[in-house]
């Protein structure tokens, strides 16, 4: 079994928890996630895409090593590109919030055939929830992972119509319902980050007012 990070294992566990016809891993990097997925379900159809040639070359070497060259299709493309008809699940892992939103907005036509989005980022989760919700998806799962001094929130979206309030967008509706130690660790960490930023900016600035409001929201919940 290939060795992958806990973050990617969490992404994989969400992918594998329900039946899917085909997956595209956008920004596949070395294709470690895709190999792991196939090791756990050889019936999956997977497209591994990246906009850079070098990661795809590394991905091909890894795929050959584990004898999955006939199971994973490699594509050099930016974002979603053109999706094959069988693709119903999109995985975007290890990118910033701005890049993820740009990819999804650029590929809106493709999203019509997609049933699930599995998104792993390490920043600006409230905006991600809001933007993807406005694209016609609802949150179906959320999990926090702490690894190598970073917090990641992995979110699963499925097609649906539901509007979230500000508190749900900020904390995550599933995370709010299922508070665990990582929930409190992450949001206390976020509060510490905000407090440190506040020390270095003018107290009457717009940014300071936003941070003070965010700290108040955090205090009320944690």
Contact 151, 189 (CB under 8 A): yes
Give pLDDT tens digits for 102-143: 999 998 888 989 999 999 988 889 999 999 999 999 999 999
Residue segments in the chain with a per-residue pLDDT below the cut of 50:
none
% of the chain surpassing 70 pLDDT:
100
**Other beta carbons less than 10 A from residue 120's beta carbon:** 22
Residue whose structure tokens are 């016809």: 21
């Amino acid at each position: 079994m290939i060795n992958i990070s806990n973050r990617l294992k969490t992404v994989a566990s969400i992918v594998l928890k329900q039946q899917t016809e085909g997956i595209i891993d956008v920004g596949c990097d070395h294709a470690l996630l895709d190999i792991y997925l196939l090791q756990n379900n050889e019936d999956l159809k997977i497209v591994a895409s990246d906009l850079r040639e070098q990661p795809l070359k590394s991905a091909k070497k890894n795929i050959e090593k584990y004898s999955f060259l006939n199971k994973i299709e490699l594509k050099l493309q930016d974002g979603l590109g053109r999706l094959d008809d069988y693709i119903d699940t999109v995985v975007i892992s290890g990118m910033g919030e701005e890049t993820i939103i740009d990819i999804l907005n650029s590929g809106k036509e493709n999203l019509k055939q997609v049933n699930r989005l599995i998104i792993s980022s390490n920043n600006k989760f409230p905006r991600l929830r809001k933007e993807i919700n406005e694209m016609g998806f609802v949150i179906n799962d959320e999990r926090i992972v702490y690894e190598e001094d970073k917090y990641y929130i992995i979110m699963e979206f499925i097609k649906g119509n539901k509007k979230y309030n500000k508190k749900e967008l900020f904390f995550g509706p599933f995370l709010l319902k299922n508070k665990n130690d990582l929930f409190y660790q992450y949001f206390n960490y976020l509060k510490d980050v905000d407090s440190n930023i506040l020390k270095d900016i003018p107290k009457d600035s717009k940014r300071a007012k936003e941070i003070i409001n965010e700290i108040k929201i955090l205090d009320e919940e944690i």
